Amino acid sequence: MSFENYDWSDVVPIEQDDGPDPLAQIAYDPEYSKAMGYFRALAQKNEHSERALTLTEKIIEHNPAHYTIWHYRQQILFSLNKDLYEELDFIRNQVEQNPKNYQLWHHRQVIVEKLKDCSLESSFTEEVLNDDSKNYHAWTYRQWVIRTFNLWDNELSFVEKLLEKDIRNNSAWNQRYFAIFYNPTKPSEEFLEQEVQYGITKIKLAPNNISPWNYVKGVIAKSKLKIDVLEELCKTLYQQGIISPHALGCLVDIYEDRAKCGSINEKELGIQTCILLAEQHDTIRQKYWNYRKHVLTSIA
Amino acid sequence: MINFYHALAGFSGVSFMASTEKTERPSELFIDLHVKYIQSLDTKKDDLEYWLTEHLRLSGVYWGLTALDLMNNVDALNKEEVVKYVVSCQHDNGGFGGHIGHDPHLLYTHYAVLILQIEDSLDAVNVEKIVEYVASRQDRQTGAFTGDEWGEIDTRFSYSAISCLSLLKRLDAIDVKKATEFIMLCKNFDGGFGSTPGAESHAAQIFCCVGALAIVNSLHLVDADLLGWWLCERQLKNGGLNGRPEKLEDVCYSWWVLSALSILGRVHWINKEKLTDFILTAQVSFTHLFMIGNFHLKALLLTA
């Protein structure tokens, strides 16, 4: 039922008062103005009713980022003891139009917290990520669900699915790290070594894709391995004529490590690689590579 | 020189992405057009619903005002009216809403203080109440900040709270150590920061975290070389910046990325000429509305 079908005869709408010389006034849609007029009147007397609930729906339709309306809606839902599973449906319908709206996602969190039921959340976030696999809100909400309800078990296979669709999905790589390292069950050293190999396989598929490089380095940092476990990969790529600034950059990291341990030969190799990057293969970041060269040069 | 109406039409487009359509690249920033654009928002005929939707009008005023300030034109908006408007957004609990009659929220409380600072009018409000409100947003166990009583947590709110209290010289009102701890929980394997622990590194969240850490003198906790590299890696071949790996470039990231790099002392790692080219070209295409007026100006000034 539309909000207009309710009896509003007892309500005096309160018009928007922006003062005599309003700053940056807006010409509103008349339906929205009407709904807002009623809202101001109802909010003043803190009315929690069906007509108020329907009103919030109309306003959200026009302006989903109107956070005060979402608060009001929550209050009404709880005081009228409404079916919160219906509300989850409502949110699901809204998310299609407004997938990146902060209020909508937090509203869902508030409802799920109240329900203490996460059974629909995995498929809900999966649906949203099917439309936009990098939706930041969907990912952080999904992480909240996993942490709050301990749903760690299937996350790696979910990430796997997404990486298969798009190996360059940085959000999925981040989620992989989350699923392993934020998991209360800590990974074994063996598992981490497998993950490094996994990363290397994916790097080979798209050597210029930075995400698996960052991921693998992150895993190495948490393991007993050292970064030179990637040396063979980097050199092989170069020998195959595949120029990846990430591979060359990784070599710089390896050479720098060894230079710090006293290797003069590696110090020189590192400097040469920085020059190669600055002047040929990653010229837009010339100043960064010149800095790395300077750091190497300064190693005693 | 591009026709005035063409430029204004470009700014008025209700669009969400910076476009780098092939268009004649202007050699300058049309300062006077930007000033006129911001002033033109103060008329009833304007219908820039997306830019100044009611719930974030306060933010809109800040972005307009700070852009004018950068162009040495703060007086283009009437000071008395601005202050009166900001005051009318304050609630009894000290917090400010995004507009008159909107619930208090940390984001808008921060914007209010920023505006009043620019207008040198902090004496127009109850500052102690603001401090109380901001402090009440901190979860003393985790150090995190909620945006409002409904409990959303995000490092954006950590930044808003810390920046706001710093401007009011009242950082003593919160547990800075705990606030810092929470921010550091949001540091990722790639050196970046996300909105909550485990969340993907994102340029805007990085700006918030780095900014907050800088204010509380804890920048030493950041791996500046690693993060600096992550940030300069945002620059694409066309000179524009994105917010995360393998995402599209947008003018707004000029602000998030450059200011974070600037705080880290590594803004020169971005190729200035290529970025300038990108921004000036975006000036005459459809863009993020209120962001273009401020972000790109700040970005250009940072690279100047």
For chain A, what are the domain ranges? 152-225, 238-300
B43: chain A residues, CB-CB within 8 Å: 25
A222: chain B residues, CB-CB within 8 Å: 189
Given a contact cutoff of 8 angstroms between Cβ atoms, the answer to whether B288 and B48 are in contact is no
pLDDT the model gives residue A3? 82
DSSP state letters, chain B = ---HHHHHHHHH---SS----S----SS--HHHHHHHHHHTTSTT---TTTT-GGGHHHHHHHHHHHHHHTT-GGGS-HHHHHHHHHTTB-TTS-B-SSTTPPPBHHHHHHHHHHHHHTT-GGGS-HHHHHHHHHHTB-TTT--BBSSTT--B-HHHHHHHHHHHHHTT-GGGS-HHHHHHHHHHTB-TTS-B-SSTTPPP-HHHHHHHHHHHHHTT-GGGS-HHHHHHHHHTTB-TTS-B-SSTT----HHHHHHHHHHHHHTT-GGGS-HHHHHHHHHHHTTS---HHHIIIIIHHHHHHH-
Interface of B with A in 26-85 (CB under 8 A): 41-49, 52-57, 60-61, 64, 77-78, 81-82, 84-85
* ipTM score above 0.90: yes
From the list B182, B185, B211, the residue with the least C-alpha distance to B198 is: B185
B97: chain A residues, CB-CB within 8 Å: 68
A100: annotated active-site residue: yes
pLDDT the model gives residue B55? 72
pLDDT the model gives residue B8? 24
B44: chain A residues, CB-CB within 8 Å: 22, 25, 27
Q: Which helix (H) or strand (E) holds A243?
A: none
pLDDT the model gives residue B244? 97
Question: How far is residue B209's CA from residue B182's CA, in Å, rounded to a whole number?
Answer: 10
A174: chain B residues, CB-CB within 8 Å: 188, 194, 199-201
Q: Is the Cβ of B237 closer than 8 Å to some Cβ of chain A?
A: yes
Sign of CA dihedral A253, A258, A262, A266: negative
What is the mean pLDDT, run by run of 10 residues, along chain B of 304 residues?
Answer: 25 30 54 66 46 71 88 87 94 94 94 96 96 98 96 97 98 98 98 98 97 98 98 95 93 90 97 90 53 49 44
From the list B216, B300, B232, the residue with the least C-alpha distance to B265 is: B232
By C-alpha distance, the chain A residue nearest B101 is A40
Given a contact cutoff of 8 angstroms between Cβ atoms, the answer to whether A210 and A190 are in contact is no
pLDDT the model gives residue B3? 27
CB pair distance less than 8 Å for B268 and A102: no
For domain B53-175, give the CATH number.
1.50.10.20
Residue with tokens 């949001």: B186
- Copy the structure tokens of residue A146: 């996993």
Q: Pick the residue of A14, A17, A21, A26 with the most B CBs within 10 A to test the interface with B by mutation.
A: A26
Question: How far is residue B186's CA from residue B54's CA, in Å, rounded to a whole number?
Answer: 32
Helix (H, G, I), strand (E, B) or coil at A25: coil
Ranges under pLDDT 50 in chain A: none
Q: Looking at the whole model, is its pTM more than 0.80?
A: yes
Q: Pick the residue of A14, A67, A140, A286 with the most B CBs within 10 A to test the interface with B by mutation.
A: A67
| Annotated catalytic residue, options A34, A100, A204, A217 | A100
Alpha helices, DSSP H only, in chain A?
Answer: 30-44, 50-62, 67-79, 84-97, 102-115, 121-131, 136-149, 155-165, 170-181, 189-205, 210-221, 231-239, 245-260, 264-276, 286-297
Question: How far is residue A23's CA from residue A3's CA, in Å, rounded to a whole number?
Answer: 30
- Nearest Cα of chain A lies from the Cα of B74 at a distance, in angstroms, of 14
Residues 6+ apart with CB under 8 A from B1: none
In this complex, which of A136, A147, A219 lies closest to B200 when CB atoms are compared? A136
Q: Is the Cβ of B246 closer than 8 Å to some Cβ of chain A?
A: yes
